[in-house]
Structure 1
Amino acid sequence: MHSLVDTATLERPAAAPASRSVSLVFTGSGGAGAMTAGQILLDAAAKAGFYGLMSRSMGPQIRGGEAAAMLRLSNRPVAALGDGFDLLVAFDWGSVARFAAELPLGPKSLVLVDDEQGETPAFVVASGAEVLCLAFERTAEAIPDGRVNMVGVGAAARLIGLDPDGLVAAIETKLGRKGAATIAAAKAAIEAGERLVAEHPPVARLGRGEGSADGRWNISGNEATGLGAIRGGIGFVAAYPITPSTEILEWMAPALERTGGVLVQAEDELASINMIIGASFSGVPSMTATSGPGLSLMSESLGLAVASETPVVVVDVMRGGPSTGIPTKSEQSDLAIALDGLHGDAPHLVLAPNSIDDCLATTQWAVHLAEKLQTPAIVLSDQSLGQSRVVTDRPPDRPYRAERLVAAADTANYRRYAVTESGVSPMAIPGTPGLAHVADGLEHSERGTPSAAAADHQRQLDKRQGKLDRCDYGADWADVEGDGAVAIVTWGSVTGPAREAAARLRARGEEVRLISLRLLAPARPVEMAAALSGVERLLVVEQSHSKQFLKYLRANYDLPTATKSFARPGPLPVRPVEIEARLSDWSMQ
């Protein structure tokens, strides 16, 4: 059976071998404190010098539904959940079975649960995991203001060998606003939890943290997206809250105020997109954030931005669909509508970050490109990226900033939509003397005058497409890593597990290259041909049911004859071991 723990060893203390990574999960009903427990443990690991990743899985209920904080802590940077969980801390059994498939366990796993929770769920029994019943509830009740989740944090920290000093510091940071009594109760509960498992052998231990925590970031994908937007030059945001993108707005509202920008909570998505088009038309780089249902509502106005060549940025934090679908789970199924969801021939930019920290760089680049090319840019993040947190090295600063070609006052014979060599024509700021022109969604002449003439339509279609095709996007169009005749092509959040799978195979002496697309539209056939040169076998990995990414690749690129697909919808994450297995055994379907 495949081990649930990475087997590479850094040191071997007497108690237990030190692993490169440890995977654990806190589960419970909504309101039980699973997310708080995970956040405190992630913060404590960061303070102890470790890297880490925390993903969230929740039901659609406000309270009472299932909730899980899934963590992977490591001596090295991590961008994907592990193959399974070494430790599961269940605050109750109430709703755990609803997302059992997201919690792979095995005979080497340890499950901690309150001893009054009753019968163990069938999926836990079937896994062969060891189940340890502990007095979580009674222990918490014996402490004034004691909380069960803090008892669980103490037990988990002890079992993975996490430094208690870092845990105390994390508690003081997380709960500091609640006062000294709350902090004291949390510390007491954690110490009690440590005592509950003092006699149990540790699970796979973390060993020692590498390097200093100074300079590392603890950031979510939604926060990174907001930071990238502001660094890129966004000065106005209008949006209607929708899961799982709302945290972008919550983070940006005070940040924009500090930088002189403005955020408006609009009454709906239709108002949001039209507000940012108006703000951008007035000269302010503008953005909205939404999810799949909101993007559907914005499609007509996005066509207006294409036709009027008005730059805007739309961040779509994808979730399961169609319709309202699964609001709290991740999927990559908005790709088709982002690429082709506008009526008419409406060329625009579509970009996708491939890691949590890349949400910063890709959003910043999207702002730069939208402004430079005077066109809408759709950024496809997803729930897995947006609502997960990572402890990572500080991302490098990028040079991308909003750079709009603006017309000078009293430009002679001003033509707003003049056909130029680059395809980009100077924009007028409303009210600038001598630059009056018509700007609407109708087809037009170079001056902007509405026109139904075939020649004008052809000329403007060529202009709008040509400026995107002729732009030099450089190496950022994709991450291309490794060499060899076998390749993985993927995009977005699936890049993390794909990258790890490729690294494992290379460590065994197998040559595998990885191609993760960041720029999805316009297509880059010349660059892709170079990236695929010499590839004989290609595995396309994505998180959608209808193989949207494979269809996109086949429509735009020449792929090797031996191309296979690994496509699965959410909410199940794609794990490194699954990709590794499909490349190792090419006969797998």
Structure 2
Amino acid sequence: MALNSVSLALTGSGGAGVMTSGQVLVDAAAKAGWYGLMARSLGPQIRGGESAALLRLSPEPVQSMDDCYDLMLAVDWGNIERFASEIPLTSKSIIVTDPAQGEVPEIMRRNNPIIVEIPLKEIAKSVEGGRINMVALGLVAKVIGLPEDYCIEVLSKALAKKGPEALEKSIAGMRAGAEYADKLTGVPTLDAPRTDHGERWSITGNEATGLGALRGGVRFVAAYPITPATEVLEYMAPNLPKLGGALVQAEDELASINMAIGGSFGGVPSLTATSGPGLALMTESIGLSVASETPVVIINVQRGGPSTGIPTKSEQVDLNIAINGLHGDAPHLVTAPTSIADSLFTAQWTVYLSEAMQAPAIVLTDQAMGQARAIIDKPADLAFVGQRRKPELVSGAVEDGYQRYAVTNDGVSPMAIPGMKGGEYTADGLEHSPRGTPSTQAQHHQEQLDKRERKLKTFDYGDHWADIEGDGEIAIITWGSVTEQVREAIDRIAETKGLTVKLIALRLLSPALPEKMTEALKGVKKALIVEQSHSKQYTLMLKAHYDLPPVYDTLHRPGPLAIRPHEIVTALDALVAKS
């Protein structure tokens, strides 16, 4: 069915407080029984500059932005041209502007939106200690039908440390803004908030990733802050000690990955988090993890590239380096969550895979998913906890002749923990014999290469390798943060045209599983591949490893412009028309 939702954009210069207002709206919506999604659009400035809180609220679960925005409230017009294209408007969209901030820029008038002038600054001045963002909050909440009580409940918690006076002033500002709600008509209204819902979580993709890693057993983290991955570390830093773990802020990415590998060698499931530039620096040491068969998890929150690129914008462009960026034949794991909610499961599952196979694993999320906040139903507790295979003890010691890299049927060898009597071995980047002694013998190299490849290819990944939904002769193949837009497009085309479309969203990107993909594509005659990259990295990866249907198209473009559901529907229409 068509999703009953309202899409909002709150914009202003850094410090205007639009992010705070957006945060209160989405959290209050959750308490009211609605679902919500809030994305952030920021400039590259360390302080100040343009910013926008982009929201979508609905009585039904939602993790994708809509085609356009119903209401845009501009606190000011500072640098709006830098992200105007990220806020698509139509002739039915409403722009709320303060006449004191000047004319609405021409770039925002292109599609003739409805413009309503409300003196936000003047209203704020009429309230003692009033702030424009609280006026905006009250106005928007009233217009969309979000009860005031829920906003006050969220503000009470957020302003607890500032005392009751700060809360009273914020409430007064809200109420002053709400008085102007009757000036706005035509904004979509949502079904009444539910009061019988179960527990809801307000969580970002980065927070969900951190929680998933903790649930998977990670107890040591070493990392260097980098946009947009820093929030993973900010979440884990206070929570690791509660579980007996620790986080170290290293001096750079090279130190980070090496510390994480060292922690893992010592027997503690370990992790680092970074973005594209940091991942590039880590590749040699990830190779050390492959050669020494030391498990480690690398969270890579993708951003626009190459080089420093666009740090605050999203793009699915680290796929090539994640899969192919290591020198030599270096099989390793690459996974990717399919939504904000799925970030928790994928991180937990990835830790489990890394520990079970004693292999490095890269988790590819991105800015659009990592820094966005969603209201989700409380996730279930899952039993995926990493367990390493350890050597058998005989009379309190490892059996004589311990072979750390013993050639086994499944490719996984028992891994002794430092301090185990008789479990000493050499672990470095040199090729080695089964005992771990450095070796240049062709036989040793061949058998260790085979073993490292075999453990990844023969492992039972179950059904978690991909999200496969629906059926039919047409499929959309996608990955990562684009998956939710694809899901909505599939729902729309089913409702409007009665067409059933199959979804295949890969969670396991490497190793490739051709047999499973062949099974997933049974009966599929046409496919649309959807990805957020300029050079079709995902499409080329699929072509390299899988037999695609005889007819397929690709919908792709670089960031920061998100791919919208209506574009996917249009691309599907074009694919259906192909003979």
Pairwise TM-score range, normalised by the shorter structure: over 0.9
- Paired with 1:83 and 1:515, the residues of 2 have a C-alpha distance of 22
Q: Secondary structure at the match of 2:46?
A: coil
Q: Secondary structure at the match of 2:504?
A: strand
Are 2:265 and 1:286 aligned? no
Q: Which amino acid aligns with 2:507?
A: R
- Paired with 1:482 and 1:309, the residues of 2 have a C-alpha distance of 38
User: 2:421 — aligned with what?
Assistant: 433
| 1:563, distance to aligned residue in structure 2 (A) | 1.1
Are 2:520 and 1:540 aligned? no
| 1:115, distance to aligned residue in structure 2 (A) | 1.3
- Paired with 1:485 and 1:533, the residues of 2 have a C-alpha distance of 9
| 1:587, distance to aligned residue in structure 2 (A) | 7.8
User: 1:445 — aligned with what?
Assistant: 433
Q: Secondary structure at the match of 1:380?
A: strand
CA distances 1:361-419 after superposition (whole Å, capped 9, x unpaired): 00000100000000000000101111011101111222100100112332221111001
Q: Is the 8 A contact 2:528 2:575 kept in 1?
A: no
1:322 to 285, 290, 306: 306
Q: Is the 8 A contact 2:266 2:417 kept in 1?
A: yes
Unmatched runs of 5 consecutive residues or more in structure 2: none
Q: Secondary structure at the match of 1:116?
A: helix
CA distances 1:135-156 after superposition (whole Å, capped 9, x unpaired): 1111111212211111111111
> What are the residue-to-residue correspondences of 1:211-290 with 2, within 5 Å?
212-290=196-274
User: 2:63 — aligned with what?
Assistant: 79
Q: Which deviates further from its counterpart, 356-365 or 208-217?
A: 208-217
Q: Which amino acid aligns with 1:267?
A: E
Q: Is the 8 A contact 1:286 1:312 kept in 2?
A: yes
User: 1:4 — aligned with what?
Assistant: none
Q: Secondary structure at the match of 2:159?
A: helix
User: 2:6 — aligned with what?
Assistant: 22
Q: Which deviates further from its counterpart, 403-412 or 124-133?
A: 403-412
> What are the residue-to-residue correspondences of 1:294-333 with 2, within 5 Å?
294-333=278-317
Write out the 4+ residue segments of structure 1 that deviate beyond 3 Å after TM superposition.
210-214
| 1:29, distance to aligned residue in structure 2 (A) | 0.9
- Paired with 1:203 and 1:435, the residues of 2 have a C-alpha distance of 68
User: 2:501 — aligned with what?
Assistant: 512
Are 2:401 and 1:417 aligned? no
Q: Which amino acid aligns with 1:578?
A: E
CA distances 1:221-240 after superposition (whole Å, capped 9, x unpaired): 11111110110000100000
User: 1:3 — aligned with what?
Assistant: none
Q: Which amino acid aligns with 1:466?
A: R
Q: Tell me the percent identity.
A: 56
> What are the residue-to-residue correspondences of 1:15-94 with 2, within 5 Å?
20-94=4-78
Q: TM-score when scaled to structure 1?
A: 0.96
> What are the residue-to-residue correspondences of 1:96-495 with 2, within 5 Å?
96-210=80-194, 212-407=196-391, 408=393, 409-495=397-483
- Paired with 2:533 and 2:570, the residues of 1 have a C-alpha distance of 19
Q: Is the 8 A contact 1:50 1:213 kept in 2?
A: no
Are 2:574 and 1:574 aligned? no
- Paired with 2:550 and 2:173, the residues of 1 have a C-alpha distance of 59
- Quote the RMSD (CA, aligned, Å): 1.3
| 1:177, distance to aligned residue in structure 2 (A) | 1.9
- Paired with 1:137 and 1:588, the residues of 2 have a C-alpha distance of 53
| 1:212, distance to aligned residue in structure 2 (A) | 3.3
- Paired with 1:253 and 1:333, the residues of 2 have a C-alpha distance of 28
- Paired with 1:453 and 1:121, the residues of 2 have a C-alpha distance of 70
CA distances 1:484-510 after superposition (whole Å, capped 9, x unpaired): 111100000000000110111122310
Q: Is the 8 A contact 2:403 2:434 kept in 1?
A: yes
Q: Is the 8 A contact 1:46 1:213 kept in 2?
A: no
- Paired with 1:194 and 1:454, the residues of 2 have a C-alpha distance of 77
Say if 1:421 and 1:329 are closer, same or farther in 2 by CA, change over 3 A. Answer: same
Unmatched runs of 5 consecutive residues or more in structure 1: 1-6, 9-18
Q: Is the 8 A contact 2:116 2:184 kept in 1?
A: no
